[in-house]
Amino acid sequence: MDGKLPDATLIQGTDGNFYGTTFKGGDGSACNLTGSCGTVFTITPSGVLTVQHSFCSQTGCSDGSLSYGGLFQSTNGVFFGTTQGGGVLNAGTVFSLDMGLKPFIMQIPAYGRVATVNGMLGQGFNGATNVSFDGRTASFIVISDTFLKATVPAGATTGFVTVTTPSGTLTSNKPFRVTPQLLSFDPPSGPVGTQVTITGVSLTQTNAVGFGDRIPAQFTVNSDTQVTATVPAGAKTGKVGVETKGGIAISAGTFTVTP
């Protein structure tokens, strides 16, 4: 009854649940094929499975059968998929599943540096009054009612993007990762215990600093553009690295560890 042969990849919806399809199984009474015609199902993170629909290919049924592919969620919140059989001339169908989920924003891509321009897909962008990256206001231009471009603002941190529209505020389906930049460090060399000033961009959310061979160092975040780190015991001559919630930045130059 709950389906079999889940060949397609699961996707996670904006409600946190996972959605998928099966090639066969389901309610056999709705199908004239041996082994039934497949299902669309939901499974919670804790493993509770619910069949949302059993496909039917009997005469008069038009929803399709034998779903080989997975689902994708449109920015209007609705899920879409395809079937291999059923429908007109048994040639397959395109179907939708509406679980009542809210519209959202999809970023293209979901990461970028400060000052880069990123695209966003959504609904109802005409008349938008604000775009924010984790609360930091950004400049933007509306291309159409479903697409806009925004510039990652200075001081932006990794987090969700919001767009304020005439009908309400839309939120991205995943956090936007603001990738850090490591521009320089000073001094260029020194023994263990040396205080090194690292200069860059998007350093506010720094959670690790390393010297050569990824040896972790004690550090202090001074500002969004500066971090001070202490050369740790065991450090070797090599690159300096900074890790933030948005990614990792590696220095172009090499820090030389002296005796």
pLDDT of residue 28: 57
CB atoms within 10 A of CB 85: 19
Nearest one of 30, 24, 29 to 8, comparing CA atoms: 24
CB atoms within 10 A of CB 49: 12
pTM of the model: 0.82
Backbone torsion region of residue 13, taken as left when φ is above 0, otherwise alpha when ψ lies between -120 and 50, otherwise beta: beta
Indicate the DSSP class of residue 118.
E
What whole-number distance in Å separates Cα of residue 105 and Cα of residue 18? 19
Q: Are 67 and 57 in contact (CB under 8 A)?
A: no
Range(s) within the chain of domains with CATH label 2.60.40.10: 106-178, 181-257
Helix (H) or strand (E) holding 235: none
pLDDT of residue 91: 80
CB atoms within 10 A of CB 222: 14
What whole-number distance in Å separates Cα of residue 3 and Cα of residue 5? 7
The separation between CA 244 and the C-alpha centre of its own chain, rounded to angstroms, equals: 16
Coil/strand/helix, residue 162: strand
What whole-number distance in Å separates Cα of residue 109 and Cα of residue 100? 26
Each residue's pLDDT, cut to its tens digit, for the chain (259 residues) gives 677 788 889 999 999 999 999 988 776 555 555 556 888 999 999 999 999 988 875 554 567 777 888 899 999 999 999 988 877 777 888 999 999 999 999 999 999 999 999 999 999 999 999 999 999 999 999 999 999 999 999 999 999 999 999 999 999 999 999 999 999 999 999 999 999 999 999 999 999 999 987 789 999 999 999 999 999 999 999 999 999 999 999 999 999 999 9
pLDDT of residue 90: 77
Q: Are 163 and 128 in contact (CB under 8 A)?
A: yes
**Sheet containing 206-211: order of strands:** 189-190, 247-257, 238-244, 206-211, 215-216
CATH code linked to domain 181-257 = 2.60.40.10
What whole-number distance in Å separates Cα of residue 237 and Cα of residue 198? 16
Among 2.40.30.260, 2.60.40.10, 1.10.8.100, 1.10.10.10, name the CATH number for the domain at 106-178: 2.60.40.10
Nearest one of 88, 101, 2, 105 to 50, comparing CA atoms: 2
Nearest one of 213, 226, 211 to 256, comparing CA atoms: 211
